[in-house]
Amino acid sequence: MQNPNSNRKYVIGGIVLVVAVLFMLRLFYIQVIDKSYQLSSNNNSRLRVVEYPDRGMIFDRYGKVMVYNEAVYDLLMLPQQVKAFDTLELCRILSVDLAEFRESVKKAREYSRYRQSAVVRQISPEQIASLNEKLFKYPGFSIQIRTQRKYPQPIAPHVLGYVGEVNQGDINSDVYYQSGDYIGISGLEEEYEPYLRGRKGIRFMLVDVHNRLQGNFENGQYDTIPEPGRKLTTSLDAGLQEYGEKLLAHKRGSIVAIEPATGEILAMISSPAYDPNELVGRIRGKNFEKLMNDSLNPLFNRATMSRYSPGSIFKAVQALVALQLGVIDEFYSVDCNKSIIGCHNHPNAHGLREGIRYSCNPYFYNVFRRIILQGKSTSQFQDSQIGLKSWYQMVYSFGLGQVLPSDLPGIKPGLVPDVAYYDKWYGANRWAFSTIYSNSIGQGEVETVPIQIANLAAIIANRGFYYVPHFVKAIEGIDTIPQKFREPVHTAIDPKYFEIISDGMQGVVYEPGGTGSRAQVPGVTVCGKTGTVQNSGGKKDHSGFVAFAPKERPRIAIVAYVENSGAGGVYAATIASLMIEKYLNGTITQTEKERIILEYQQF
């Protein structure tokens, strides 16, 4: 070739080859070496579709449904696919606020243009029916089915608790939860959340760029089927619970009933209460705020959180401690000398049984004095310390002054003062029996919550031991309830002494001069003890009554409190009587008593 620049073909060919080799190296890198693109491709085209399981239903001890699930619907939006639509009409169909709706649409857009988010939650089936007909007018919107809690009877809100959306803390502490999931927030819903929630199912779907479903991924072999929540059978007696709530309606107070032989809680009523259906679905937020601001504080569970002085009920404990310490015997008698401590008019108590029957204040002042001042030291300060120490150990063994490890969150411990408590309060060696004697009749520093007093009734009924009061009776798929509910807890008191106390408590109800005759139940031997809690500031006393029945082989231990209603022998004893009759006999024959209770209204 004569062409002078012929060699330049090598330069040009070289450039072509260099580019081709460069591309080859780059392609080798991104296709063979770098595996991250594989992952991105999978993330792109695989949509995790979460299928929500039904939350476990909750039953009462006889298998009656207390909580079930109802289908509700969420409106999902995929911002990328949304075209201009009639916002007003959509809001009208779903009866949601326009501004609120715009706000959640904005949020969904900010979250992701390519992922679905719920813009309207918990839509009722009726609204969904009318929306379904018009859904074609709203491209990018779809409907997701969820379930929400429903309560056939509006009872036991404090026990059952409620369910709500997870917060950031829940998401951070448990990988199971994702934004928008539901979680039990209080009560049994919270306690048994791991069982009730079940397990979400995940379907892997192939999607195109518009997130339109294109079919199952690998024929669904990686999918998991949602596992429904486990059924929870509680120890509650729905009929008794309902009746108790009826009795306490329009009063401030609480009732706790326990089956002594098992520790199973038969009923737990706190009044005022609320309808659990109010804390479900879209109305939850609004209603919750309303309940929070209610001056009667209906969200507060008095049965586990109200700290009262135990009042005269505590005399039973004092007697048992004294018997166990050997500082008195069953024949110990005291003249009712009102010079040190006040009392009501009654015959002198001969023996412990009568001391309890008459609820004699000077009697138990002396009993407590013997407990605290055992004469083991010449210094009354030292002696008081020794006495209080042994007293504390025994009282503590009744489950008082501590949080009962029950299965309801938020139980308060109450207070049983020990040496350190008074040392801190008054200074070491600056207190003695004379400083703390009010405790003898349950009016001092001792504080208890109703569930502890119900448990005390169970201890006396069992003659010396208790099972931690609890609500769980059975969890579907699990053989036994937790160990802590199956093992008896023994008090530091010899069982033989309990017979004396039971006799005394029988006397309270049946003998002349007994303070709790209103607690009688036809055909049943009831043992009871009044507790009239004095309030400072001139407010009317709290009426308290503790009881168990029948005396032999007791089947129910119960405490009832009606705040600011006067002596324990009146309203509280009557309520206890009605509850015992309802539980043991199934019917109410004492209609006059029932009428009085129902007619008594505080608000």
* Residues found near another protein in the complex (CB under 8 A): 1, 3-6, 8-9, 11-13, 15-17, 19-20, 22-24, 26-28, 30-32, 34, 36-38, 40-42, 44-45, 113-114, 206-210, 214
CB of 74 to another protein, least distance (A): 25
CB of 29 to another protein, least distance (A): 9
CB of 40 to another protein, least distance (A): 4
State the DSSP string of 13-40: HHHHHHHHHHHHHHHHIIIII--HHHHH
Three-class secondary structure of residue 369 per DSSP: helix
Closest listed residue to residue 302, CA positions, set 343, 256, 270: 270
Which CB atom, from 27 or from 340, has the smaller least distance to another protein?
A: 27
Which CB atom, from 19 or from 478, has the smaller least distance to another protein?
A: 19
CA distances from 213 to 49, 131, 205, 492 (A): 10, 21, 7, 68
Omega cis (within 30) before 154:
no
Which CB atom, from 22 or from 50, has the smaller least distance to another protein?
A: 22
CB of 19 to another protein, least distance (A): 5
Q: What b-and-e string marks burial along 553-563, b requiring 16 or more CB atoms within 10 Å of the CB? A: ebbbbbbbbbb
Which CB atom, from 28 or from 603, has the smaller least distance to another protein?
A: 28
Alpha-carbon 27 to chain mean position? 61
CB of 62 to another protein, least distance (A): 55
What is the residue type of 491?
T
Cα R_g (the chain), whole angstroms: 34
Which CB atom, from 208 or from 487, has the smaller least distance to another protein?
A: 208
Which CB atom, from 37 or from 85, has the smaller least distance to another protein?
A: 37
CB of 2 to another protein, least distance (A): 10
State the DSSP string of 542-581: EEEEEEEESSSS--EEEEEEETTS--TTTHHHHHHHHHHH
Which CB atom, from 50 or from 213, has the smaller least distance to another protein?
A: 213
Which CB atom, from 9 or from 102, has the smaller least distance to another protein?
A: 9
State the DSSP string of 440-502: GGT-SS-BB-HHHHHHHHHHHHTTSEEPPPB-EEEETT-SS--GGGTS-EE-SS-THHHHHHH
CB of 304 to another protein, least distance (A): 52
CB of 37 to another protein, least distance (A): 3
Which CB atom, from 29 or from 62, has the smaller least distance to another protein?
A: 29
CB of 203 to another protein, least distance (A): 16
244 with 255: CB under 8 angstroms?
yes
CB of 79 to another protein, least distance (A): 12
Q: In whole angstroms, give the CA distance from residue 65 to residue 149.
A: 12
Which CB atom, from 26 or from 290, has the smaller least distance to another protein?
A: 26
CB of 82 to another protein, least distance (A): 16
Residues 6+ apart with CB under 8 A from 418: 388, 389, 392
Give first-to-last CA distance, the chain, whole Å: 116
What is the residue type of 429?
N
Q: What helix, strand, coil percent values describe the chain, rounded to 5?
A: 40, 20, 40
Q: In whole angstroms, give the CA distance from residue 373 to residue 371.
A: 6
CB of 157 to another protein, least distance (A): 46
CB of 267 to another protein, least distance (A): 58
433 with 387: CB under 8 angstroms?
yes
* Paired tokens of 569: 């022998």
Which CB atom, from 207 or from 456, has the smaller least distance to another protein?
A: 207
Which CB atom, from 12 or from 99, has the smaller least distance to another protein?
A: 12
Residues 6+ apart with CB under 8 A from 411: 304, 305, 403, 404, 449, 451
CB of 262 to another protein, least distance (A): 58
Which CB atom, from 4 or from 326, has the smaller least distance to another protein?
A: 4
CA distances from 520 to 15, 257, 359, 401, 509 (A): 109, 17, 17, 31, 6
Q: In whole angstroms, give the CA distance from residue 140 to residue 360.
A: 77
Which CB atom, from 208 or from 335, has the smaller least distance to another protein?
A: 208
Q: In whole angstroms, give the CA distance from residue 491 to residue 395.
A: 9
